[in-house]
Structures are given as structure tokens and as C-alpha cells.
Amino acid sequence: MADAPPPDQSADDPTSGSEQEIVPTMLAEIATALGRCTCPVSQSRVLVEKAADAYGYKSGVIALLPTLSIVGNRQTGGIAMQELTGSYRFDQIASAQAEVAVACSGTKPPEDVLRSLRAIPNQTPLFPTWLRILGYGATALGFACLFQMTFQSLAIAAMLGILVGVALLWGNPGRQVSALMPVVLTFASAVVVSVVAVWANIPDPARLAVIPVLALIPGAALATSVIELCSGDMTAGSSRLIYAIMLLLSITFAFTLAVQLVGAGENGLTDVTAQTAPPWVVWLGVVIFGLGYSLFYCTPLNLWIPTLTLLVFSHLVLNLCQTVMTPPLSAGVTIALALIVAWVLNDRTGTGPVSLVLFLPTFWMIVPGSTGFVALTGVVEKNQDLSDLGLQVALTVVSMSVGIMIASLIYPHLQKRVGRH
């Protein structure tokens, strides 16, 4: 989820005209904002329909796709469309969720909601660029700690993470070039690590090469696509799934190409989990990862403690589950509990509707850190059965998606039992 703000739309379609003319445009803008927050189409549709009911818009036709939102009027034949490009930082997600909640209550004029939503893509980042770059380096360092790599490897991961952060935030690529950034950055990272591994004999080089670009791996897209397919949104789910698979294959190709060009053989890049650092480094890595993600994606300061609390809780649950369950099932159970806890924290802290901001760091910690990451780097391992890894990846993604869906079904009933409405 690299920082690629959508184009400015504030000058288009000014908020003027009757309420019945503005409401469809507002609804399309709500759907677009939710898409940039990585919400599945099924959940976005529920919120858009709730906002439509709040403003008495009963004659609408709502069609949501991963790249386009369409709201039509059966009576007038008018259509409001919004293109969905880019994704939001966490401060933007918090603003968007808060504004959508206001729209669902119907307490704010639709033209004001529309104006506020259109201002979000141009919202100034909460932290300066240099601090966000350091945050990306901390994210890479946190992941390296989770794999208990050597202290030498930890330093290399942090430095490569900073360089990738510079490329993402200061490179300012165009829209077409942005699509190639995961491939280019993976290739560059793999070249550097391959050279160092050959000459300095660093353990676990395959994982070390991919750690700096973990934020670009489409774990969220994979899980979201499965949720959409299970919900019957075949067009959205299949298109998002194909995109995620193609991106993963492109990253794998870039990694393999770099290894071949450097001339590192299988013996030079044998991938084993090093586990040479003390066990406490793993827990330190969880905290470092959370702090780094909060800086890079600009998490509002009042959400830092709840975010770190949820990360530590999720990592504890994952470790406990893996003692009695398979890794895919453990990931699903952890994600379900983490999402429920995120909703509880969201309700109890009084910080507004920001559950996505609390939940996404945990989601990203589990997705790349599970079997998907091993499968990606396993392409250069000797005697590695990639078919088994592929099956494990698929089971992990499905398990996590089912966990999200189960949590979505359980929490409303739990909310009623504790008197929350």
C-alpha cells in the first residue's frame, strides 16, 4: 500500500444543485473513499446503502467495482461515476471513516460531506517525509527481528528499508511507473543482498532481500478478493485476485532475475530461518514494526497505543495458536480475534470510527510473515516443493478471509449483548 494519492478532484463537479442531484455524487464518492481504504466491495455496498437510506435516496442503483463506483437514479436516468485510483494513508483512512460514519447518520448536509470527502486525497501527511522514510526503515527492521536474523542482517534490512522508503516517497513516479515499483524495488533489493550474501556469507539472504519491499506485497488484495468471492462479488473478487497473483509473480520474477544476473547459485542463497538472535528480539520487532508502520502511514497519535496493544495481543495469540493448530488455521483465528478487538478498542477509546487504522498493521504483520513470504522466497531454494507451499499460501489466505467474515458476523451480536448500538 504505497503512498500514491489519487488525483485532485476538488475542482470537478462542484457541490451545487439540489440535494437529489448531489446525493448520488456523494454516494459514489463514499464508495470511492472506502475503496481507497481497502474495504471489500460487499462492506462498501452496505455502508453506501446505509448512507443512501439516511438521505432518503430510495431510487438508486449502486454498482461497485475495484476501480469504479457507479450510482444511478432509476427515475431521472442520471448516473454519478467516480474512478478509484491509489490508496489512503492511515490518517486519511481515519478521516474517511469518520466522514462516512457522519454520512450514514444523515446529520450533515450532503454537499458538506461531498466537499469533505474530496478534500481527503489532498490532505497533508501527518509526519514529514524524512520521518516517514525512517519509519519505513523501522518497518523493515521490525520484520527482520520477527525472523530472529543476525544483528548484521538486521542492520542491512534497516538500511535497505530506508533506501526503499526514499524511492517510494521522494521518487514521485507517475501512475504507470508506480505499477512497476514493486518489481523494480524487489530487483534492486535482491541484487544488493545477493552480492553481499555471496561475498560476506550472510545467512537467510532470500528473506532479507524481500523484507524491504514487504509493504508492496499484495496480501490485503489477496484476502479482500477471497472475501468478495465468498460474498458473491465475482467481478470484483476475480479481478482483484488476478491483480494480486500477477503482482506476486512479477515480484518473484524480479527476485529470480536478480539472483541469476548476480550469479549466486543455490548454495549461495539457501534460505533457512536463521533464528540466531535472542527470543526477546521477536517481541522487540513487533513494537518496532508497529512504530515504523505508524510513522510511514501516518497513524494519528491518539491511535498509537491502541495499535501497538493490538499488535502485541495478535502476536501472542498467533504464537499460542501455532502450538495446537496449523499455521493457516492459526492465522485465521488470530485475524478474527484481532478484528474483534480492534472494533472493541474503536468503541471504547472514543476516537471515532477508525477500526481499519487499528487493524491493518496487524493484518500486514501476519500476511507477509506467514507462509506467503516463505513461498515467495522459496523459488531459489534447493529441493523446495513449491506446490506444497502454494497450497499452504492458499489455505492461509482463505483462513484469514473466513476469519474476517466470521468476525463480521459475530461482533454485531456481541455488541448488542454489551449494550452497544
- Tens-binned pLDDT, residue by residue, of the chain (421 aa): 555 445 444 444 444 455 567 888 888 899 899 888 878 888 888 888 888 888 887 766 777 777 777 887 666 666 777 777 778 888 998 899 889 989 998 889 999 999 999 999 999 999 999 999 999 999 989 888 887 777 888 888 899 899 988 888 876 665 566 667 788 888 888 888 777 776 766 666 666 777 787 777 776 677 777 777 777 788 888 888 888 878 877 877 887 787 777 665 544 444 444 456 677 888 898 999 999 989 999 998 988 988 899 999 988 998 898 888 887 788 888 888 888 888 887 776 655 556 777 887 888 777 654 444 544 444 444 445 545 555 666 777 778 778 888 887 887 777 666 554 4
pLDDT (0 to 100) of residue 370 = 43
- Residues in the chain, how many? 421
pLDDT (0 to 100) of residue 295 = 94
pTM (two decimals): 0.80
d(CA 210, CA 185): 9
pLDDT (0 to 100) of residue 14 = 43
Query: H-type helices in 55-174, by residue range?
Result: 90-105, 110-119, 129-146, 151-170
Which three three-digit cell numbers place residue 267?
A: 548454495
pLDDT (0 to 100) of residue 78 = 67
Neighbours of 153 (CB within 10 A): 26
What is the SS3 assignment for 65?
coil
pLDDT (0 to 100) of residue 19 = 59
Cβ proximity of 82 and 289 under 8 Å? no
> Which DSSP string do the residues of 145-165 spell out, in sequence order?
HHTT--HHHHHHHHHHHHHHH
d(CA 394, CA 371): 9
Cβ proximity of 157 and 140 under 8 Å? yes
d(CA 356, CA 345): 11
Cβ proximity of 2 and 296 under 8 Å? no
d(CA 343, CA 345): 5
